[in-house]
Chain A
Amino acid sequence: MKSACAATTRTVGTAAVIELSGDVDGSAAETLTTAYQSAVADGEARTIVLDFAAVDYINSTGIALIVSVLAKARAEGRLVAACGLSPHYREIFDITRLSDFIALFPDLDEVVSQLKGATA
């Protein structure tokens, strides 16, 4: 039932995409921290994109981890976007006001399209 959080990072233009899968809960802390460090390692990423399309479960501790990523990114002058949230977790992003600070998109294609438009 529980599936460990995994993350892969890749670069799309000036954005670093962190593709998450499994459960974003307390056990995801190290995975998320390592993924963020990898995403910003070359110093080029102006936007961090969190892709939740393959995420099964997010709990309050996972929300806290996302807040920490958001705080770190903002302190470093980076924007944060997210995509692939289910309607339920999108509602939770609204209730917690995460959606006031993180631009939400239905899927990664939309994010990429938006980023291309912004740099055109």
Chain B
Amino acid sequence: MTGSAPSAPRRLAAFAVPSEPGNERLALAKVAEVVTGRGLTAARLERLKTAVAEAAMNAIEHGNHNQVEVPVEVEVLQSGTEIVVGISDSGGAAADVSAEEPDLADKIEGRQSPRGWGLFLIRNMVDDMDVTTEGARHTVWLTMHTAAPTAEGAGK
């Protein structure tokens, strides 16, 4: 037997920020600090930072309804060639943001609200995105591969 078993996820950091508009910047700065030097190119680090900020903003606004006393919890894990960031709020399934695909032409013509880019940006910035809900705990999981991405991954 020469194959290597998949490595167990290692927690790089876990922290919380109060649910106050603007605190997504704290989350992205901390995540960037933790994952810098762990195999992401500068461009892919920028992508992860944008995804973290948008997910944290959704958690603050839609999950925790800007209640400062309810924290947004952030967990950073590394498993093999993957960095995974979990961003949790207390909004349960109701925290899921509308998945309407933004259409810029419709927005310009007033057929869609100019807003609604957050989830779209998250999906396009990371290699994989999952959402889990356990009771009130609603978590968005963002995955970035640290090894050279596949052709499919690079196209995202």
Q: Name A residues whose Cβ lies closer than 8 Å to a Cβ of B.
A: 1-2, 25-27, 57, 59-61, 63-65, 67-68, 70-71, 74, 87-88, 91-92, 95-98, 100-101
Contacts and interface: CB of A to CB of B under 8 A. Distances in A.
A98 B53 CA distance: 20
B114 interface: yes
Interface stretch (B10-18, B19-27, B72-80, B131-139): B19-27
A64 B104 contact: no
A98 B115 CA distance: 13
Q: Secondary structure of the A side of the interface? A: helix
A100 B104 contact: yes
Nearest to B103: A97
Interface stretch (B1-9, B43-51, B85-93, B140-148): B43-51
Interface in B87-129: 102, 104, 107-110, 113-118, 120-121, 124
Contacts of B21: 26
11 contacts: A2-B22, A60-B54, A71-B107, A71-B110, A74-B108, A87-B43, A88-B50, A95-B124, A96-B102, A96-B104, A97-B104
